[in-house]
Structure 1
Amino acid sequence: MLTLILPSFVTAEGAMDFQELSRVTRKAVDALNGVVDRTSRPLPPDGVFEGKPTAIRVGTNGFADLMVALGHSYDSSVARELNVAIAELVQYIALDQSCALLKTRGPISAPLNPNSETSTRLVQDHIWSLRELSNRYDWGALRARVTTEGLRNCDVTVYDSDPMTSIITGCSESSEPFRSLIAVLNGPSGLFVNIPRRFMGALERSNLWDDEVRDRIVEHRGSIQTMAKVPSSVRSAYRTVWDIEQSTIIRFALERAPFLCRAQDVRLYLHKPCPTILGELLSQAWQGGLSVGVRHLRIKTSNAPFPISLPSGVFRGPERQRADRPGSITNPICL
């Protein structure tokens, strides 16, 4: 799997660079197929390969950061349009490149049969009633190529949340909103403090990033929606999954689903789940056509990590013991 970091495709003028995203997507398909070509695969017990084409997975990361960089909120109409446009671009370019590589490099083990159900499904326009194609790409021509020539890969795109990739890149997970503005994640190599870099920079530019604000964010469990001293524009841009209507997450998943090869890793976040609310969300997903309505249901527990308000500077974690400063965007010490 290869992940495209969406905030990297914002131009200096603050616009989405679709041309660069297209170029990098082609490079990603080339690279993943190169890895497959150089990888030794064990023979099955009978000593004969089944002849199935190998799947590759191209995904995206940092959609919430992309919206911040472009100056739009996560649930805005612009975000809704970009959610579909990015998924459509990645799917089209990945399929087009997989088809081209079949001619230049040949099949990995066996090409995807042009007339197979899988080959037709990947580029079928009407399999999703909600699918709205832009005028950027010639899907009809691509469908004709695939049905006559085939594909080198059986899958090319995926939607999956990976916390470790989020830590490494400093971006939000996949296409989800920010989970928390200050979080401690437990990974294979230990504990990692994760703060959105653009969020810290926004507070620094307003001269608001200090011990008190940091402690208040921890007290409010990673949210700034009740902090009046933070500008409303920052509060709107940095709403977490707990501050956004979950129907928005379902709607975004429905609208990008036609441009994905497999079911999505959809997560819902509810303060107080009940059969009525959960049933409405699952019904929305089912009626829209999602094969998997929800993979994870996160519940906000009533037991807060800090049940009482803390005076500024009370908490002293391992980083504070090494350096008595709140951190900065270039030196992001948090707790």
Structure 2
Amino acid sequence: ASCELAAKLGPYETYPGSPVSKGILQYDMWNVKPTDLWDWDKLKASIAQHGVRNSLLIAPMPTASTAQILGNNESFEPYTSNIYTRRVLSGEFQVVNHHLLRDLVNLGLWDEDMKNLLIQENGSIQKIPGIPDELKALYKTVWEISQRTILKMAADRGAFIDQSQSMNVHIAEPNYAKLSSMHFYGWKAGLKTGMYYLRTKPAANAIQFTVDKSKLKKSTIVDNTNGVSNGTVIEEETEEEKKKVYNMSAMTCSLQNKDDCLMCGS
């Protein structure tokens, strides 16, 4: 399309001398050979004749509003959580990853108890008994995926992104060593943007007012991963009370430690 516009309107002002004017496209600079899905040689011949109208074309970015409307996650990012709260003028409501919801319904696993467990686990299914391992591997949240893997996927896309990509990094507890290692790895991989935003986890989880505690306080038989029940019983009420006390104390505002306050640090 940019070449077609150039045929009508001429190339952009500083086109002469650019890599594209010399027949070098983005993937050529990465030494990557594309598939035969498109006729790249024909495109290069047209560019040699007419040029291109745009100096840059692709810059994947976070698109939260559009993603929510379509029921998808932001841009190319893995899901931050498989359940979240959406706020609109009429109020708030819970939204579940509709791909996960479909699979759980098909397996006959979706019910009120499963919803409460999903909320309790902050949108993660890794510790929920009864969910098959293949689903747990498929629906890992970004916090459960190695950030090195995220960087590798960004580098794979880089050969076909001529501007840059708004790649966020998610590290629950960042430190100097982790950030330095991440930046150097991304730089060696050829990324133009090593990090758009650094996402961290709060010091304390928000109190889950929407969880039905009467469901969760029931004694639960732990599933054995080998398929044999060992009959172990876990009493969850005591732990829930401990979590409540901890979360309430963590929410207390401290001017000396603003980042740990759920209000000041947000």
Question: TM-score scaled by structure 2?
Answer: 0.70
Q: Kindly indicate whether the alpha-carbon contact (under 8 Å) linking 1:123 and 1:139 is maintained by their aligned counterparts in 2.
A: no
Match of 1:128 among 30, 39, 43: 30
Q: Deviations over 1:40-92 (max 9, x none)?
A: xxxxxxxxxxxxxxxxxxxxxxxxxxxxxxxxxxxxxxxxxxxxxxxxxxxxx
Residue among 56, 65, 68 paired with 1:167: 68
Give unmatched runs, 5+ long, in structure 1. 1-96, 315-335
Query: Is the aligned partner of 1:112 residue 2:16?
Result: no
Matches within 5 A, 1:76-155: 97-103=1-7, 106-107=8-9, 111-112=11-12, 115-117=16-18, 119-120=20-21, 123-129=25-31, 131-155=32-56
Give the match for residue 83 of structure 2. 182
Matched, 1:218 2:122: no
Displacement after TM superposition at 1:112 (Å): 2.3
Q: Which has the larger radius of gyration?
A: 2
CA distance in 2: counterparts of 1:117 and 1:149, whole angstroms: 14
Q: For 1:98, give the aligned amino acid.
A: S
Alpha carbon RMSD of aligned pairs, Å? 2.8
- Determine the C-alpha separation between the residues in 1 that align with 2:88 and 2:174: 28
Correspondence for 2:260: none
Letter in 1 for 2:30: W
Structure 1 residue 98: Cα displacement: 2.1
The size of the alignment, in residue pairs, is: 213
Q: Which has the higher contact order (CA 8 A, sep 6+)?
A: 1
Shift of 1:291: 1.6
Give runs of aligned pairs for residues 1-335 of structure 1, distance below 5 A: 97-103=1-7, 106-107=8-9, 111-112=11-12, 115-117=16-18, 119-120=20-21, 123-129=25-31, 131-186=32-87, 191=92, 193-306=94-207, 310-312=213-215
Name the CA distance, whole Å, in 1 between partners of 2:38 and 2:159. Answer: 15
Following the alignment from structure 1 to structure 2, what is the Cα–Cα distance between the partners of residues 111 and 209? 56
SS of the aligned residue for 2:127 comes to coil
Aligned partners of 1:307, 1:187: CA distance in 2, in Å? 19
Shift of 1:152: 2.8
Distance verdict in 2 for CA 1:267–1:154, change over 3 Å: same
Q: 1:170 touches 1:194 (CA, 8 Å); kept in 2? A: no
> How far is 1:132 from its partner?
3.8
Distance apart, 1:281 and its partner CA: 1.2
Native 8 Å contact 2:59 2:166 kept in 1: no
State the identity %.
26
Q: How many Å separate the matches in 2 of 1:186 and 1:282?
A: 35
Task: Supply the distance in 1 between the matched residues of 2:6 and 2:92 (Cα, whole angstroms).
Answer: 43
Task: Provide, for residues 18-61 of structure 1, a one-character-per-residue CA deviation record: whole Å limited to 9, x for no partner.
Answer: xxxxxxxxxxxxxxxxxxxxxxxxxxxxxxxxxxxxxxxxxxxx
**4+ residue runs over 6 A deviation:** 187-190
Tell me how far 1:116 sits from its aligned partner.
Answer: 4.1
**AA of the residue aligned to 1:312:** K
For structure 2, which runs of at least 5 residues remain unmatched after alignment? Answer: 218-266
Whole-Å separation in 1 of the counterparts to 2:20 and 2:177? 39
TM-score of the superposed pair, with normalisation by structure 1: 0.57
Query: How far 1:294 moved relative to its partner?
Result: 0.2
* Distance in structure 2 (CA, Å) of the matches to 1:173 and 1:240: 13
CA contact 2:125–2:136 (8 Å) conserved in 1: yes
